[in-house]
Amino acid sequence: MELVLAAAIGILAASGTWLLLRPRTFQVIIGLTLISYAVNLFIFSIGGLRTGADPVLHHAAGDIAQYADPLPQALVLTAIVIGFATTALFLVVLLTSRGLTGNDHVDGEDGTP
Amino acid sequence: MSNHLVIAPIVLPLLVAALQLLVGEKRRRTVLALSVASCVALVLLAAALMLAVSADGVLGAVYRIGDWPARFGIVLVADRLSALMVLLTSVLALALLPYALGRWQHRGGHFQPLLQFLLMGLNGAFLTGDLFNLFVFFEVLLAASYGLALHGSGARRVSAGLHYIAVNLTASMLFLLGVSLIFGVTGTLNMAALAELIPTVPERTRALLHAGAALLGVAFLIKTAMWPLGFWLPRTYAAASPVVAAMFALMTKVGIYVLLRLGLLLFGDAAGPASAHFGSGWMLWGGVATVAAGIVGMLGARDLAKLAGYNVLISSGTLLGAIGLQLPAVTAGALAYLVISTLAIAAFFLVVGLLASDGDDETDDTLSLEPYVQPGEPAPNESLYAQEDESRVVISAPIAMLSASFFACALLLAGLPPLSGFLAKFAMLVPMLEAGPRTGATVLFALIIAAGFCTVIALCRAGIQIFWVEPERLVLKVRLSETTSILLLLGLCLLLTVLVEAPLRYLRDTARQIHAPAGYIQQVLPAAEVQP
């Protein structure tokens, strides 16, 4: 399971980085989205991987080792929300830029000084 | 001291911004009154906070949200450094408000609420005591700054804003990676708890910890605009409306603040031989490279606003290098330089905004400078003497005001006597010499002096062209409110020249406090809690 997750994170991050370096806005935003998936999965995995473990305590007694670390899950939730909002904002700016400059370059070739 | 004082600078702008959104754009007077009230209250709160934490024997104030112990809950921590930064933020915001009244706040929607959200994010970032909330507050201030950077619209702003947002989103991803790596190794995100745990981290995971810290550092260095991560800065700042650019003069300082705080808290002398001073060399040499890049950019800039942007780079680089040295006396001087250069650059952006804009034209509000030598045209100095016109003797009041402000900004930025820019640079450079010969310190010292010299050259050239060679180009519609902002900022710098003793003493104590993080740790995690 570790290998599959690590490969998934790596492939997402690599594709995201490549897309981020492309000259057009649409590629950049897809790249940012892929990187944010990779980062979210990464945060999710730092508490250690385990199957079927519960993050919420059922019983007052019991071994804490049986439970998953709830903090990374809380962190990833916050990161997803913030990432989603900023990506949406970026999309709006992207569309505005397309409207104002008439093209979709982010490599400085959009004709503005 | 009421403990709620610590959270007030975060809650107040949040409530005011929400209220302003509810009141709506149409009731301008109400929105404005709310903004003024909030900024005045913030200055008072910050001053109260500063007085509270600078009393004798007080290490700082800790606010436990929900009264959970620091290891489990979220804490806000105010020490001398945080209080200083919060005060600087609120004073700058208050001084900029009159300028925004003039023409800028109605160039786009929701200027005032965005400014309040920016203040909330800035204050939160300065006061938070754990890494994840630092991320959250960074996102708050960045989201507000995206809106402000685009304020006024226009192709140039949107194009520069697009780059700004893409760069910062990437930096946020690095920030998250760094935070999660550090959490994975240590199991905590509380800064004080981290500082306690770092010396005891097992050797096999220390590399991971360092990787996390380095990723985190890169995220902040992008915000500080260290070379080669800072190419986004001059264009974004030049494209932003002047009042926003002036506020952004503080944004690079947030990165500096975090690097200073985390660098000394997590990787100070107490971090053990393997981790002590981790990354300080990178900061030092990165700072040196940034100053060099800033000098080149400043001398080559053909656009006055970009020239101001490169001044931000020089200021960032100087600060990075100075805090990279990790000497208490240099840090105290660097803090003085941080305050003065923020105020001076903000004033400079405002002056540039007045010189360049003709008020109503939306797209072309930049002031370009001539190249050094124009091929095929007479040398510039001939045109300087070409049309001697005695009627030029009469100088209109706005031009006199603006040229005097420009001159004052030039003195402050270059660090020449008699203004406080000189005192701040002096306070930073003398301890560097006293620390004895170290290659890094010597190179940085020489570069800071060279940067001052080149600032004089660049600003003389700009000033001569603007005020003497082609004064007809100036279309001045200066409003009283706009001059008020500039005079407030410059007056503050002047006041700091006169009253230099008390602030410097405060800064020295601040530097001593942040160089001895044991007090901070003890404050956040009292001994009773350390035992699990």
| φ and ψ at residue B31, rounded to 5 degrees | -60, -45
Average pLDDT over residues B327-350: 93
Name the percent of chain A in helix, strand, coil, to the closest 5: 65, 5, 30
Instruction: Please say whether the beta carbons of B256 and B319 come within 8 A.
Output: yes
Is A106 close to B162, i.e. CB distance below 8 A? Answer: yes
Residue B259 — very low, low, confident or very high, per pLDDT cuts 50/70/90?
very high
- Span B270-279, average pLDDT: 83
B184/A35 Cβ within 8 A: no
Provide long-range contacts, Cβ within 8 A and 24+ apart, for B32-36. B32/B101, B32/B112, B34/B112, B35/B97, B35/B112, B35/B115, B35/B116, B36/B97
Residues 6+ apart with CB under 8 A from A95: none
The answer to whether the CB atoms of A25 and B180 lie below 8 A apart is no
User: What is the DSSP-derived secondary structure letter of residue B56?
Assistant: T
The tokens describing B270, both together, are 């107490």
Neighbouring CB atoms inside 10 A of A65's CB total: 7
**Distance, CA of B271 to CA of B521 (rounded, Å):** 13
Lowest-confidence region among A107-111, B197-201, B281-285, B504-508: A107-111
Encoding tokens for residue B128? 């938070």
What pLDDT band is residue B532 in, cutting at 50, 70 and 90? very low
Taking CA B86 as the corner, what is the angle to CA B80 and CA B89, rounded to the nearest 5 degrees? 140
Average pLDDT over residues B136-165: 90
Chain A residues within an 8 Å CB radius of B163: 106
Helix (H) or strand (E) holding B64: strand B61-64
Q: Is residue B487 part of a domain?
A: yes
Q: What is the dihedral of CA B186, B187, B191, B194, to 10 degrees?
A: -30
pLDDT of residue B388: 54
- B146–A contact, CB cutoff 8 A: yes
In tens, the pLDDT along B408-433 reads 999 999 988 888 889 999 999 999 88
pLDDT of residue B373: 63
Q: Are B401 and B339 in contact (CB under 8 A)?
A: no
Q: Tell me how long chain A is.
A: 113
Q: What is the CA radius of gyration of chain A?
A: 19
Residue of B nearest to A37 (CA): B173
Rg (CA), chain B: 23
Distance CA B63, CA B20 (A): 27
* Run of H or E residues at B30: helix B28-54
> Would you say B395 and B468 are in contact if contact means Cβ atoms under 8 Å apart?
no
Give the pLDDT score at B374: 57
Q: What's the structural domain count of chain B?
A: 1
Candidates A47, A93, A113; nearest CB to B156: A113
Average pLDDT on B240-263 reads 92
Rounded to the nearest angstrom, the minimum Cα separation between A27 and chain B is: 12
Percent helix / strand / coil, chain B, rounded to 5? 75, 0, 20
Of A39, A106, A112, the CB nearest to B177: A39
Question: Which chain A residues have a beta carbon less than 8 Å from that of B135?
Answer: 79
Q: For residue B394, is pLDDT > 80?
A: no
User: Which chain A residues touch B132 with a CB distance below 8 Å?
Assistant: 75, 78
What SS3 state is found at B109?
coil
pLDDT at B292: 95
SS3 B381: helix
Nearest to A32 by CA among B118, B155, B163: B163
Chain B residues with beta carbon closer than 8 angstroms to that of A41: none
Residues facing residue B467 across a β-bridge: none
Is B363 exposed, middle or buried, given 0-12, 13-18 or 19+ CB atoms closer than 10 A? middle
pLDDT tier at B367, thresholds 50, 70, 90: low
Q: For residue B317, is pLDDT > 60? A: yes
Q: How many CB atoms lie within 10 A of CB A15?
A: 16
Interface of A with B in 31-90 (CB under 8 A): 32, 35-36, 39, 42-43, 46-47, 71-72, 75, 78-79, 82-83, 85-87, 89-90
Residues of B in contact with A106 (CB under 8 A): 162-163, 166
3-state DSSP assignment of residue B33: helix
Mention the CATH class of domain A2-50+69-101.
mainly alpha
Q: Which of B217-231, B457-471, B497-511 has the lowest mean pLDDT?
A: B457-471
- Match 């492939």 to its residue by tokens: A11
Residue B357: pLDDT band (50, 70, 90) is low
B487's tokens: 């005079």
Q: What is the pLDDT of residue B359?
A: 42
Question: CB-CB: which of B159, B172, B176 is closest to A110?
Answer: B159
Return the DSSP state at A24.
Answer: B
Pairing between β-strand B75-78 and β-strand B61-64 as defined by DSSP bridges: antiparallel
Helix (H) or strand (E) holding B131: helix B131-149
pLDDT the model gives residue B365: 47
Per-residue DSSP letters for B393-435? G---HHHHHHHHHHHHHHHHHHT-TTSHHHHHHHHHHHHHHHT
- Of residues B263, B237, B409, B261, the one with CA closest to residue B340: B409
CB contact under 8 A, A46 and B184: yes
Which sign, positive or negative, has the C-alpha torsion A49, A51, A56, A61?
negative
Compute CA B252 distance to the chain's CA centroid, rounded to the nearest angstrom.
Answer: 4
**pLDDT at residue B472, as a whole number:** 67
Distance separating the N- and C-terminal Cα atoms of chain A? 50
Answer yes or no: do A101 and B136 touch at CB < 8 A: no
Q: Which pLDDT score is estimated for A60?
A: 67
Average confidence (pLDDT) over A3-18: 95
Q: Are B132 and A75 in contact (CB under 8 A)?
A: yes
**A102: closest chain B residue by CA:** B155
Long-range CB contacts for residues B444-449, cutoff 8 Å, separation at least 24: B444/B284, B444/B287, B444/B288, B444/B291, B444/B318, B444/B321, B444/B322, B444/B325, B447/B288, B447/B291, B447/B292, B447/B295, B447/B321, B448/B291, B448/B318, B448/B321
The tokens for B344 are 């001076």
Q: What is the pLDDT of residues A29-86, one digit of tens each?
A: 999 999 999 999 999 888 778 777 777 777 766 677 777 788 888 889 999 999 889 9
Residue B444 CA neighbour count, 13 Å, CB half = 33
| Confidence label for A103 from pLDDT (cuts 50, 70 and 90) | confident
pLDDT of residue B391 exceeding 60: no
Q: Domain residues for B246? A: 3-371+396-518
Query: How confident is the prediction for chain B on average, in pLDDT?
Result: 86
Residue B184, chain A, CB below 8 Å: the answer is yes
- With both helix axes pointing from N to C terminus, report the angle between B111-127 and B131-149 in degrees, rounded to the nearest 10: 160
Average pLDDT over residues B339-355: 91
pLDDT digits (tens, 9 = 90+) for B30-46: 888 999 999 999 999 99
Q: Is residue B386 part of a domain?
A: no
- Kindly state whether residue B376 falls inside one of the protein's structural domains: no
- For residues B115 and B97, what is the distance between their CA atoms, to the nearest angstrom? 10
Closest residue in A to B181 (Cα–Cα) = A46
Lowest mean pLDDT among B263-272, B350-359, B449-458: B350-359
Instruction: Write a three-state SS string for B170-235.
Output: HHHHHHHHHHHHHHHHHCCCEHHHHHHHHHHCCHHHHHHHHHHHHHHHHHHHHHHCCCCCCCHHHH
Give the three-class secondary structure for B68: coil
Does residue B512 carry a pLDDT above 70? yes
What is the least distance, in Å, from the CA of B20 to any CA of chain A? 21
Share of chain B above pLDDT 70, in %: 89
A-to-B residue pairs, Cβ atoms closer than 8 angstroms? 91
The reported pTM is 0.91
Rounded mean pLDDT of B360-369? 51
- Sole residue written with tokens 């990178």: B282
Residue B382 lies in a domain: no
pLDDT category, B361, cuts 50, 70, 90? very low
- The residue of chain B nearest to residue A23, with distances taken between CA atoms, is B163
Residue B111 has pLDDT above 70, yes or no: yes
Inter-chain residue contact A46 with B143, CB threshold 8 Å = no
Tokens for B100, please give them.
């925004």
CA atoms within 13 A on the CB side of B271: 24
**B336: its two tokens:** 């003085």
Tell me whether residue B388 is in a domain: no
